[in-house]
Amino acid sequence: MKKKVIIIGSGFSSLSAAAYLAKEGFDVTIYEKNNTVGGRARQLKKEGFTFDMGPSWYWMPDIFDKFFNDFGKKTSDYYQLDKLSPAYKIFFSDDVITIGDCMDKIGEEFERIEPGSAIHLRKFIKVAQENYDIAINKVVLRPGLSPLELVTPETITRVDQFFKTISSEVRKRFKNKKLISTLEFPVLFLGAKPSKTPSFYSFMNFADFGLGTWHPKGGMYEIILAMESLIKELGVKIETNSSATKILVENKKTTGIIVNGETHLADFVLSGADYHHSETLLTEKHRQYTEAYWSKKTFAPSSLLFYVGFDKRIKNIEHHNLFFDTDFELHAEEIYDEPKWPKNPLFYANFPSVTDKSMAPEGNETGFFLVPIAPNLKDTEEIREEYFNLILNRFEEKTNQKIKNNIIFKESFCVNDFIEEYNSYKGNAYGLANTLTQTAFLRPNLKSKKVKNLFFTGQLTVPGPGVPPALISGKLVAELITKSNN
């Protein structure tokens, strides 16, 4: 008889784990508290406009390819993938940098800003590519059970890169502030300040410049739909509008969960929901981590998000746009060092309808704006409105156009919503930051140390924040469950 696995939540890591577990012959059921699958990668459709509510960058296409290949499938079986050209624009106070779709174009742009920098860039990206190969094929495919997992012939020769920072390595090679910000930007996906992120993580720069930025036609939610289709084909059952309120334990072993007041028994329980929240579903003696533990951790930022429908096409922008026309370091301090609402925030603007006409009615534009902020800030409608006006004023100035009167509708999402919708600890958006003391085996465990057959997956555990790491997290935890069943 098949062993039964219950999975709490249906984000990328949960769907990934469900696929691998079903492939290994487990009877898998997912319980999702919201009315659609996807976790933070949900979709908003309104008046003909389509918005990805969460992740909007498709990086590391090889990780998605590997996932579907593991089931004899290809990404092209499910969605059309287009490489963005250019990848994105960065707006500074006195210039605009355009990141092209290949190293030659990017090198030319660097050379324009700082003569002689293209040579340094190629050397930097060469190291980043070597790190990427080691990270993706060696380090991140390990379950974070032991410090020895970080010890490989390749990492031994690069041990200094775990103690130097991205910031110091970038500043050693480049003097222009705009180029420094451009190269430090990708590690924000890891949820930490560049000055706190080990230089080994330069592999994110290769993910950016080397592998490029892509877009699945129809939006990032197409990946969720693809994974949902795959797991259903593998026999996984999905129950939406099903909120787990308790993880059941008998004799230090999990026996199932309570959902909507009903008991559901299982041989294994896996939570892909927020890790801190998942442990609150246990009695205190069965929790691995105390409130003091969580409060001392460095969390990735939260976000103030706006989903806006415009009644015209927007000029002078690309699919992805970064507004770095204010002080990068000051904003980082206001997130990590002295958490507060930022005075002059950097922000991101995404217009998927620039390259994908299916995401907005004809002649209109779909706009998604994101302001990174510290978790746990006071969140009110008045504050949201103040920041919407602030970033829109700067957007209009930098792109030389008026758009406020062309808004059909706008919806916002912030700290309170992350807590309400996703049970997110302090309303964080991206999980636990990848600092040196929160890397690999130093992150919360995939496997409970106190309750047998209880496991965890997602951005607060191994390997870390981001969509590709979430796919890997699901695979790692599925392997642990399979191993413990043998």
Per-residue three-class SS string for the chain: CCCEEEEECCCHHHHHHHHHHHHCCCEEEEECCCCCCCCCCCEEEECCEEEECCCCCECCHHHHHHHHHCCCCCHHHCCCEEECCCCEEEECCCCEEEECCCHHHHHHHHHHHCCCHHHHHHHHHHHHHHHHHHHHHHHCCCCCCCHHHHCCHHHHCCHHHHCCEHHHHHHHHCCCHHHHHHHHHHHHHHCCCHHHCEHHHHHHHHHHHHCCCEEECCCCHHHHHHHHHHHHHCCCEEECCCCEEEEEEECCEEEEEEECCEEEECCEEEECCCHHHHHHCCCHHHCCCCHHHHHHCCECCEEEEEEEEECCCCCCCCCEEEECCCCHHHHHHHHHCCCCCCCCCCEEEECHHHCCHHHCCCCCEEEEEEEEECCCCCCCHHHHHHHHHHHHHHHHHHHCCCCHHHEEEEEEECHHHHHHHHCCHHHCCCCECCCHHHCHHHCCCCECCCCECEEECCCCCCCCCCHHHHHHHHHHHHHHHHHHHC
What's the pLDDT score for residue 195?
Answer: 84
Smallest CA-to-CA distance from 375 within 323, 417, 436 is with 417
The C-alpha atoms of residue 452 and residue 172 are separated, in whole angstroms, by 48
Percent over 90 (pLDDT), the chain: 82
Q: pLDDT tens across 365-387, in order?
A: 999 999 999 999 999 999 999 99
Q: Is pLDDT at 423 greater than 50 in this prediction?
A: yes
Smallest CA-to-CA distance from 9 within 239, 260, 300, 246 is with 239
> Angle 12-23/221-233 helices, nearest 10 degrees?
20
Which residues face 303 on adjacent strands? 372
How far is residue 252 CA from its own chain's centroid? Answer: 33
The C-alpha atoms of residue 312 and residue 407 are separated, in whole angstroms, by 9
What's the pLDDT score for residue 129?
Answer: 95
If one compares 333 and 6, the residue with the highest pLDDT of the two is: 6
Who's near 155: CB < 8 A, 6+ residues apart? 134, 138, 139, 162, 200
Q: pLDDT tens across 155-211, in order?
A: 545 555 665 888 999 999 999 999 999 999 877 656 678 888 888 888 899 999 999
The C-alpha atoms of residue 225 and residue 104 are separated, in whole angstroms, by 35
Q: pLDDT tens across 426-477, in order?
A: 999 988 887 778 877 789 999 999 999 999 999 999 898 889 999 999 999 9
What's the pLDDT score for residue 148?
Answer: 46
In the structure encoding, which two tokens stand for residue 51, read together?
A: 């918005």
CB 352, CB 56: distance < 8 Å: yes
Place of tokens 């993880």: 247
What's the pLDDT score for residue 196?
Answer: 83
Mean pLDDT for the stretch of residues 38-58: 97
Largest CA distance in the chain: 67
CB 464, CB 443: distance < 8 Å: yes
The CATH number that domain 81-214 falls under is 1.10.405.10
What is the DSSP pairing of strand 244-250 with strand 253-259?
A: antiparallel
Place of tokens 């930025």: 213
Least confident of 57-66, 183-192, 399-408: 183-192
Mean pLDDT for the stretch of residues 313-331: 95
The CATH number that domain 4-42+219-295+435-485 falls under is 3.50.50.60
* Confidence bin at 146 (pLDDT 50/70/90): low
Place of tokens 């949820």: 191
Q: pLDDT tens across 235-277, in order?
A: 999 999 999 999 999 999 999 999 999 999 999 999 999 999 9
The C-alpha atoms of residue 45 and residue 310 are separated, in whole angstroms, by 14
What's the number of CA atoms in the CB half-sphere (13 Å) around residue 133?
7
Q: pLDDT tens across 95-138, in order?
A: 999 999 999 999 999 999 999 999 999 999 999 999 898 888 87
In the structure encoding, which two tokens stand for residue 435, read together?
A: 């600092």
In the structure encoding, which two tokens stand for residue 325, read together?
A: 């026309």
Which residues face 262 on adjacent strands? 259
Who's near 85: CB < 8 A, 6+ residues apart? 100, 101
The C-alpha atoms of residue 205 and residue 234 are separated, in whole angstroms, by 36
CB 67, CB 59: distance < 8 Å: no
| Amino acid in the structure at residue 322 | L
In the structure encoding, which two tokens stand for residue 63, read together?
A: 């990780």
Q: Is pLDDT at 147 greater than 80 in this prediction?
A: no
**Residues composing the chain:** 486
Who's near 449: CB < 8 A, 6+ residues apart? 288
CB 372, CB 358: distance < 8 Å: no
Smallest CA-to-CA distance from 317 within 291, 350, 346, 347 is with 350
Who's near 138: CB < 8 A, 6+ residues apart? 152, 154, 155
